[in-house]
Amino acid sequence: MWNMMCDVMPTISEDSITQRSSQFSGEDANFEQLMISMLDERDKLMESLRETQERLGESEAKLQEVEKERDSLQRQISANLPQVVQNCDGTVKKYYTYELGKKSQHECYILKDAVHEKKWY
């Protein structure tokens, strides 16, 4: 049986195996270095993504806080604005209101018992 296998199988030179393995080991080393570089780059990008997501979360939280503060100030201005008009004593007084981020200037006058407003936008 052994003799039959030797007849069927071609002989392989050991020198050609050594040459092939050294050729593949050079290619394998290049491939391995490429994979390491790609994994390092991926790790850097993932870290950058995490940092950016954290900053985005902090910015969104700050935005919500500022919007709440803006709404609170808007309510305070709206609550106090009628008092300013009611307290006009006949002299020209200026007050400011903020509507959707735009500043509006108002003057109030008292003529007899009526209050008239003149608005500029």
Domain ranges of the chain: 20-84, 88-121
Q: In what order do the strands lie in the sheet with 114-120?
A: 93-99, 102-111, 114-120
Cα–Cα dist 88/65, whole Å: 35
Percentage of the chain modeled with pLDDT above 90: 35
Cα–Cα dist 90/49, whole Å: 62
Percentage of the chain modeled with pLDDT above 70: 45
Cα–Cα dist 73/77, whole Å: 6
How high is the pLDDT of residue 18? 55
Cα–Cα dist 6/10, whole Å: 7
Cα–Cα dist 95/115, whole Å: 14
Show the tokens assigned to 95: 């007050």
pLDDT per residue as tens digits for the range 40-56: 999 999 999 999 999 99
Mean pLDDT (the chain, rounded): 70
**11 φ, ψ (degrees, to nearest 5):** -80, 140
pLDDT per residue as tens digits for the range 87-101: 555 554 455 554 445
Task: For the chain, give the longest Cα–Cα distance.
Answer: 130
